[in-house]
Structure 1
């Protein structure tokens, strides 16, 4: 099967699914009025300097002040000095002062009670390049491993920028195999964009947005589109038309791969994407062999426990454990991407006695993680059979995006949020209209969901009823729990 990107647009949210060989690997979502801030540039104001933490809190116009560490204020430079020793980080009080205005970029969204993470080391991405203002060096992504290709790309960029480039540039992984014209097109775009950002920054007041990154559908095309993606399906006409224009500007050779989806069923029913999303919210993930993974998220870390379950398929226990761990290593890499798990991750593989088995399981995990867009580091298997690893986290996990603390169990469990249920109701209405002819329908749900639909989504409901030619009545049911609803045809 081919690799595809599915882009689903509804009145309340935009979702992007990356499907590889018919299996969901990654999911991104962006709700109306709730987009990611990562990549945005703001004119910030230093609200408070904390010498003990080597950090400052910065007002960028969001609900919570953002966090800026001293190491993220320094200009980009090698970590080691000319003597091969680590460069000391100056005191935060030498770098900034309270009330000072500072141009900053968000590198990590607000998570839980924490504000956004900032840097003054700005970077502006395009399809194949990243512009680094203030430095002069040219670099190539470490994910491009062939030395000949690295040198070819570096030579192309040097020809385009000259020996003394006006800014620094990094060639992105997407650039592997491209020709000079595509790189020149990206370079021209960034050279036009940066002066506009500088001009807007000069006029900006404290807390004002200076530059906003692309919205999710187009950001996904920029960052996820590659030669292996054979098809991009989009189920909303306006987004499709804009995506085709966007592709025509940045990668015209692949624009024809973008298709408008108008099939009988919902787009995310293809390849069972909706079912896979539901499974990704479960604590337990089954393995084909009969074993299973147990995944627990906490504030400090995520733990993954590997169990053989009912798997008894090999001649002896050691072989059974080894085969289960091999399968689990590949499944874990997929679950980390799908659930968007980040930070510290502890994997408890089943104890193995043979060193060769341990090495093979670890190599399998590392190979499976190689396709992950997030940066990961993996340690050796410890004597206790544990693997410590980290995965860069820039946005909240899938569970935290789709669920909220359950009021019935005082936060010990998770239930789908009211917004998530509202989105599911919209999708169920559209599914019902595709399958049946009806002039009226009734939606029964708990009072909180009905109130949210009528108060915050009344415009979307009105547009939907006009578009579908049907009337929709909402009926609150006190006995329904938050995730329960019914769409009834009248």
Structure 2
């Protein structure tokens, strides 16, 4: 995010807080926290193992929420439990059955919110972050962010932190754990690092105390509110301005900033009298646009986003961009122009899991390499971990992006009650033929002289305009009267047949 102006714009209403992240004035991320659907990611819970699933090498745990959490083998603090479970059989590969048992009380942290019918995903590898450090109670090591390049600085930080940790352990109850020095710790003075270390150890002590006092599954540590969490997770040196429209949010952020970042300056502004702070920055329009399946490019091309449960596919098309004389150049230009839109929308829509990008076919290998390099370069600003593949044999690029929070579509949208989320409806011809078959079957079954067909206004208009009259044909065939009744509340595919 070097040389990029970063702004947070915070809109607060009684039931919802929205935080827009703008980079150079362009909306890149939207974080939403609703009063009746607060995200659980980052919270720590006392949990009870409810069911072991050996076939999946996983377990379901009750952590105090309506749906049990899913705990996979990879998310179990295996080294710690193996000492208890294996009794000297360390050479055996760990399995879910010899690490956990039903009824066991454990500490877990939510790493992925519940989605639809799936419960939250949890981990026993708990981590708690502060400004300069990340603390994980498992293990016993000091690590440094790869973003700190200087060998001397890495050595200085590791040495000083180890000394501080040993000093704390001599003065108080010994702790164990792993510390990761974040990128913002570069060139930091040791007093500030000591304050961070004390905060994390005190926080973890309070978590253990809450677990001991808790008699049933439930939350024992709540992560920061969305506004404060975002400030914590982005290096303050990269944050230029925060604008809020609520006085209480302003006061909370001011005290949070003063406590964590002391004398460092931040342009924090409250515009509580603004009618709609998002409109002033064009944010609501961008949110609306991010819900479209199709986004048009300036040159006439367009991009299609299809978000499904298994993966998201992104398809680029030339559209009306026909270029001049060189097809390969036209295709390359359209693909290149689409990258800024794709990378922005991946972050804004919070697309995660497997993402497949189907660029327009290019024969020129140099063009392919340029597209891949440009995509990787544009994805560097994404704070979410993502792995980008090379072009496959089919000309596709695969991205695996870490999934934590629900996507924008999952938060703001719900499946259509008519199409049940498929995005398509039966054609008018198909529904009319279904009516024909149902009416024919009803005339035979009821042996009635009077049938009533109730259907939507759209279908009745279509039936009346049809060259073949359903009612007259069936009336002659079965010697009955068919009455057609308009039901304005019916959708296209819904109709009823009643014997009068």
Q: 1:142 aligns with which of 133, 142, 146?
A: 146
Partner of 2:288: 278
> Which residue is equivalent to 1:48?
51
Larger Rg: 2
1:146: Cα distance to partner? 5.4
TM-score in terms of structure 2 length: 0.77
Q: Do the aligned partners of 2:18 and 2:33 also contact (CA within 8 Å) in 1? A: yes
Say which of 103, 106, 129 aligns to 1:102: 106
* Greater displacement, 104-113 / 325-334: 325-334
Q: Which residue of structure 1 aligns with residue 74 of structure 2? A: 71
Contact 1:330–1:364 (CA<8 Å) still a contact in 2?
no
Mark the CA change 1:255 to 1:329 in structure 2 (over 3 Å): closer, same or farther: same
Q: What is the SS of the residue equivalent to 1:8?
A: strand
Q: Give 1:337's aligned residue.
A: 347
Greater Cα shift, 255-264 or 201-210: 255-264
Aligned residues: 409
1:59 and 2:62 are equivalent in the alignment: yes
Match of 1:321 in 2: 331
SS in 1 for 2:404: coil
Rate the CA distance shift 1:175–1:272 in 2: closer, same or farther, 3 A. Answer: farther
How big is the shift at 1:177? 5.2
Q: How far 1:383 sits from its partner (Å)?
A: 2.7
> After superposition, what is the alpha-carbon deviation per residue over 1:189-225, rounded to whole angstroms, capped at 9, x for unaligned?
1122111111111112231211111111111121135
Provide the rounded CA distance (Å) in 2 between the counterparts of 1:337 and 1:151.
Answer: 34
Tell me the secondary structure at the aligned position of residue 220 of structure 2: strand
**Which range moved further: 219-228 or 33-42?**
219-228
State yes or no: 1:244 paired with 2:247: no
Structure 2: distance between partners of 1:16 and 1:215:
11
**Counterpart residue number, 1:118:** 122
Which has the larger displacement, 248-257 or 209-218? 248-257
Whole-Å Cα distance in 1 between the matches of residues 356 and 345 of structure 2?
Answer: 14
1:154 aligned partner: 158
| Residue number among 110, 132, 140 corresponding to 1:128 in the alignment | 132
The answer (yes or no) to whether the contact 1:51–1:93 under 8 Å persists in 2 is yes
Corresponding position of 1:19: 22
Q: Tell me the CA shift for residue 357 of structure 1.
A: 1.0
- Equivalences for residues 72-471 of structure 1 within 5 A: 72-75=75-78, 89-145=93-149, 147=151, 150-162=154-166, 166-176=176-186, 178-262=188-272, 264-313=274-323, 315-413=325-423
Query: Residue 10 of structure 2: which of 7, 32, 36 is its match?
Result: 7
Describe the superposition over 1:428-461 as per-residue Cα deviations: whole angstroms up to 9, x where unpaired: xxxxxxxxxxxxxxxxxxxxxxxxxxxxxxxxxx
TM-score (norm: length of structure 1) = 0.78
Contact 2:134–2:180 at 8 Å: present in 1 too?
yes
Q: CA deviation at 1:183?
A: 2.6
Confirm or deny: 8 A CA contact 2:51 2:60 kept in the other structure: yes
Query: How far apart in 1 are the matches of 2:149 and 2:298?
Result: 33
**Displacement after TM superposition at 1:178 (Å):** 4.1
Distance 1:55 1:399, change over 3 A: same
Q: Give 5+ residue unaligned stretches, structure 1.
A: 78-86, 415-477, 482-490
Aligned residues: CA RMSD: 2.5
